[in-house]
Amino acid sequence: MISRLRQSVPAYLFLLPWLIGVLGLTIGPMLLSLYYSFTDYALLNTPEWTGLHNYTALFQDSRYLHSLRVTFIYVGVSVPLEMAFALAVAVLLNRGLKGLAVYRALYYVPSLLGGSVAIALLWQQIFGSDGLLNDVLGIFGIHGRGWISEPGTALWTLILLRVWQFGAPMVIFLAGLRQIPDEVLEAAEVDGAGRWQRFWRVTLPLLSPVVFFNLVLQIIGAFQAFTPAFVISGGKGGPSDSTLFYTLYLYQQAFGNFRMGYAAAMAWVLLLIIAVFTGLNFVLGRTWVFYGDEGVRR
């Protein structure tokens, strides 16, 4: 026993930096926020216990419900588009292109930059009414509009910004495509399968675990999107609340209106929503994700 203890102590010592991080920076604050979500906490006072009040108030708050709707549209449209785009580019790049590494890096760069303040500001310059897009449209005689300053189009510029960051899932798709054995594809070709058939019947099923992985990650990431909406709308979620993301409304309540308890409740509901979507993904995934070991399991 003692010797075993001796064995495990160094292990925990090595784990210590990580443990401090997890306990102090993740679990501690999470538990505290769970507590705040049941209180009236105005950031400057001591929290007062109010039970479930924050949670029930959420569903009578029309701006909250609106922010949910905006976020669902954002996730629902941007994730499939981004995935499709990433997959398409990955398939193209996988066809033995010369200078693959260069293209791969080039397409990946937006993913690194996309969440940043600088890119959000750049987006403002492109889609403003005196912006680059309208200059280009002007060449063709099309009279543009203030894409960001109109409620009908503002959210779509943010969706576009997300799709533009397709590099991260693309790199993962590319790695996945590399894993698909050439023999299988050749065998399919010998059997007379065309290009589309090979893609739908062979490539995609073999790639499905990677698709699944990307889908889960992208949905979670999209629900948590904050920076672009914050920067592009100047923290307001405007015009006319059309880009009021869930996280942005949460931030406004917490730091603008001193409703930290309410914001904490919002955060936990968001966690729940993401958990439900991820769970749903895993359940549905059983019907279409093919791990290649199904035969063995049976």
Partner 1 sequence: MNTFSRRTLLGLGAATAAAITVPGCSGKSGPMRVSWYGPDPVTKALNKALDAWKSSGGAEYSAESAPFDDYWDKLATQTSGNNAPDVLRMSMSYFSDYAGRSALKDLGSLGIDTSGLDKDVAASGVADGKNYGVGQSSISYSMYVDEGAIKNAGGTVPAQGWTWDKFAEFARDYSGSVQGAFGSSDQAGNFQLFEVYARQHGTEMFSDDGGKLLTTKETVQEWFQYWADLRNAKAAPPQNVSGETTGIEKSLIATGKAPLQFGWVQQVTFYQPLVKSPLTVLPVPQGKAGDLTGQFVKGLDLWCISAASKHPEDAAKLIGFLLNDEKAIKAIGILLGVPPSKKARDLVSADAGSAGARAIKYVEDLAGKVGPSPKPWPKGYGELLTGFDRIAENIGFGKSTPAAGAQEFVDLAGKTLGQ
The binding site for partner 1 (CB under 8 A) comprises: 1, 4-5, 8-9, 12, 16, 19-20, 23-24, 28, 42-45, 128-129, 145-146, 148-151, 234-236, 238-241, 252, 255-258, 260
Whole-number minimum distance, CB 283 to partner 1, in Å? 33
Whole-number minimum distance, CB 33 to partner 1, in Å? 13
Whole-number minimum distance, CB 274 to partner 1, in Å? 24
Query: Do 269 and 58 contact (CB within 8 A), yes or no?
Result: yes
Closer to partner 1 by Cβ: residue 120 or 222: 120
Whole-number minimum distance, CB 251 to partner 1, in Å? 8
Task: Indicate the burial class of 191 (C-beta count within 10 angstroms; 0-12, 13-18, 19 or more).
Answer: exposed
Whole-number minimum distance, CB 152 to partner 1, in Å? 9
State the Cα–Cα distance between residues 171 and 90, nearest whole angstrom.
Answer: 7
Backbone angles phi, psi at 48, to 5 degrees: -115, 130
What is the dihedral angle through the alpha carbons of 22, 23, 27, 32, rounded to the nearest 10 degrees?
Answer: -140
What interhelical angle do 117-127 and 132-139 show, nearest 10?
A: 30
Closer to partner 1 by Cβ: residue 131 or 167: 131
Closer to partner 1 by Cβ: residue 115 or 238: 238
State the Cα–Cα distance between residues 57 and 269, nearest whole angstrom.
Answer: 12
State the Cα–Cα distance between residues 18 and 11, nearest whole angstrom.
Answer: 12
* Nearest alpha carbon to residue 107 among 61, 170, 183, 38: 170
- Run of H or E including 169: helix 167-179
Closer to partner 1 by Cβ: residue 150 or 189: 150
Closer to partner 1 by Cβ: residue 22 or 280: 22
Closer to partner 1 by Cβ: residue 43 or 188: 43
Whole-number minimum distance, CB 158 to partner 1, in Å? 15
